[in-house]
């Protein structure tokens, strides 16, 4: 697939085969996140790879829609440190990681941690840190439900020229 096809066919996936993500692919995923730009090159993101099943369970309990996360073969929490907000930087890192993964047929889904204090405590992060997003990665257990276009609002809703109203 070329880059454009990789980007537009990426769908979020929460059910994975019981098949590990190879070490080299994991490294590329993390490297893609590391190389994402950040505001003023402040580099506020840190990636915590969750391997211990107990830590995964405790972490998943910090989100309202994260019950599937502990079963993902590769789980990465994206933390921001240093008291910066860093949500946009975390988003850039997250998308870099997910697109790099999908280029190697590794599917993924982002996860919100609704209880931030819980996430910070479980990961033993510094107190001023936040966890804007975590990602579960793995090989897709079943095909995507919809064609990529089907799940999005129409082009004219998304794209405006000059002003909101013509
Ligand atoms: C910021 C953000 C937070 C999300 N949080 C969750 C979550 O907590 N649990 C979950 O299962 N999916 C989560 N998702 C995945 C969305 O539900 C998904 O991106 C959306 O339904 C579109 O999916 P699609 O690309 O497969 O169409 C999140 C997505 C984003 C961008």
Over residues 47-60, mean pLDDT? 98
In a domain? residue 42: yes
Which of 10, 96, 99, 110 has most ligand 1 atoms within 8 Å of its beta carbon, as the pocket-test mutant? 110
Smallest CA-to-CA distance from 135 within 166, 111, 153 is with: 111
Per-residue pLDDT for 143 more than 70? yes
In a domain? residue 20: yes
71-97 pLDDT, tens digit per residue, is: 999 999 999 998 777 999 999 999 999
In a domain? residue 160: no
Over residues 132-136, mean pLDDT? 98
Over residues 57-68, mean pLDDT? 98
**What CATH number does residue 61 fall under?**
3.40.109.10
69: left (phi over 0), alpha (psi -120 to 50) or beta: alpha
Lowest mean pLDDT of 38-42, 74-78, 97-101, 136-140, name the range. 38-42
Q: Which domain holds residue 77?
A: 3-142
In a domain? residue 124: yes
d(CA 111, CA 53) in angstroms, rounded, equals 17
In a domain? residue 161: no
Whole-number Å distance, alpha carbon 24 to ligand 1 midpoint, is 26
């Amino acid at each position: 697939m070329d880059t454009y096809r990789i980007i537009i066919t990426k769908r979020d996936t929460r059910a994975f085969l019981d098949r590990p993500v190879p070490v080299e692919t994991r490294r590329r995923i993390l490297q893609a996140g590391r190389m994402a730009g950040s505001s003023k090159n402040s580099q506020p993101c840190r990636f915590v790879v969750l391997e211990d099943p107990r830590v995964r369970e405790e972490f998943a309990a910090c989100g309202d829609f994260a019950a599937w996360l502990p079963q993902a073969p590769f789980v990465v929490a994206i933390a921001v440190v240093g008291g910066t907000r860093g949500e946009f930087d975390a988003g850039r890192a997250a998308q870099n990681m997910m697109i790099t993964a999908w280029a190697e047929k590794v599917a993924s889904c982002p996860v919100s941690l609704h209880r931030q204090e819980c996430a910070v405590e479980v990961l033993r992060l510094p107190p001023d840190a936040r966890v804007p997003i975590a990602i579960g990665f793995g090989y897709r257990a079943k095909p995507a439900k919809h064609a990529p276009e089907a799940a999005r609002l129409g082009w004219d809703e998304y794209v405006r020229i000059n002003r909101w109203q013509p």
